[in-house]
Amino acid sequence: MTIGIVDYGMGNLLSVYSAFDYLGAQVKICTTPDDLNAVDKIVIPGVGAFKDCISRIDMNGFHEALDEHTRQKGKPTMGICLGMQVMAQKSFEGGEFHGLGWFDAEVIRLHPKNRDLHIPNIGWNEVLLNTSIPLFKGMPQKADLYLVHSFYMSCQSKTDIVAEYYYNHAVTAAVLKDNVFATQFHPEKSQDLGLRIIDNFITWNP
């Protein structure tokens, strides 16, 4: 079982790689679309702006390859932070840009009315998890997890949402649809609870 981490030119590759490697997974950094042929599961990491992310995915030929391996071949796929947002239909960060379109969702700016709540939201937040799904096996219903973001995924289908937190309004923290799972928080930076989620992904068989 090989986990492929997509390297499209931006993202927190080292910390994600280190988390999977620490848990004993066989990990491959995928620098070309062809590399996805040699992996069983896919991780899409990401930090930065949506526009740059989708542009690099398109430019490096990963858009079609990810559609093939994730949507057509059904390989279990996990997105992290910006890697989750790019799975939406479109984003309004710095304009309007189309994403991979795997979720019926739009990426919009956090909009807390409380002026004491800063944007970007950086730090630990209490996240309410749907612990009935295999990816949150062994997790508490409320978990302190680490987030760094200014935008979030607003889902049309609420059944896709498997975790939320409150930032003066409900914020999507994780989504799940068929063989695709994604988190707005950073499991690789969320200590033991985050590692448990990654370990659940390693053994996940949707």
Assess whether 186 carries a catalytic annotation.
Answer: yes
30 among known catalytic residues = no
In this structure, are strands 180-183 and 77-80 parallel, antiparallel, or unpaired?
A: parallel
User: Are 150 and 109 a contacting pair, CB within 8 Å?
Assistant: yes
Match 């062809």 to its residue by tokens.
34
Rounded to whole angstroms, the Cα distance separating 25 from 199 reads 9
Rg (CA), the chain: 16
Contact present, 100 and 67 (Cβ < 8 Å): yes
Hey, what are 38's tokens? 């040699």
Under 8 Å CB-to-CB from 7, ≥6 apart: which residues? 13, 29, 30, 31
DSSP assignment of 117-143: S-SSEEEEEEEEE-TTSGGGTT--SEE
Which residue among the candidates 63, 69, 81, 106 is catalytic per the annotation? Answer: 81
DSSP at 77: E
Residue bearing tokens 């799940």: 176
CA angle centred on 8, ends 59 and 40, rounded to 5°: 115
- Is 188 a catalytic site residue? yes
Catalytic residues: 81, 186, 188
